[in-house]
Amino acid sequence: MKLFALCSSKYPKTPTKAVTLPWFCGLDLGIPLAILLIARRVVDLDDRTSTFGSVAALLNVASFYWPIVELKTMIVNPVLDLDNILLWNGFICCFNGGAWALYGWYVEDLYILVPNCLGMILGCFEVLTFCIQRHRLQQPATLLAEPLLPGWEAVTGEGPPDS
């Protein structure tokens, strides 16, 4: 998250640029510390590790929400401003989720395995969507310049030649 926060704080508009980095870092450090303090007060020692692990796993999956929302924005409005940031975020999350999923499979821990498999799948979905979108935007717009059927002109509306 910290790498993503640093990357995204580089690109927003100037008035919000000074506010973005403290908010991301504050949330990135504040949420886990608040969960740790609540877990120390409320949950007994035996269940504390699994409770904190479950909440951390849910936050890991929830970190994919913003890039998926940006997928809709990117597909509806084809602009490549955020493309590189979100592509690298998806790749890093996919790689990170895959590594932790392998570790969860190795130690046979479902609290680690299931959310990281879901994160890896969402990361792959993000990377594939951004690659398809980038390829689509780099293609020249020649759809209406080609005939729809042999002998029919798409742009002029003329019929087939008389034979």
Q: Is 5 strand, coil or helix?
A: helix
H helices within the chain, ranges in order? 2-10, 14-42, 45-62, 65-76, 83-107, 110-138
pLDDT of residue 133: 72
pLDDT of residue 79: 56
Say which residues have a Cβ less than 8 Å from residue 81's Cβ, sequence separation at least 6: 11
Q: Which two tokens stand for residue 105?
A: 């499979």
Q: What is the mean pLDDT of each successive set of 10 residues along the chain, which is 163 residues long?
A: 48 55 68 74 73 69 64 62 60 75 83 82 78 67 51 52 55
**pTM of the entire structure?**
0.44
Domain ranges of the chain: 2-138
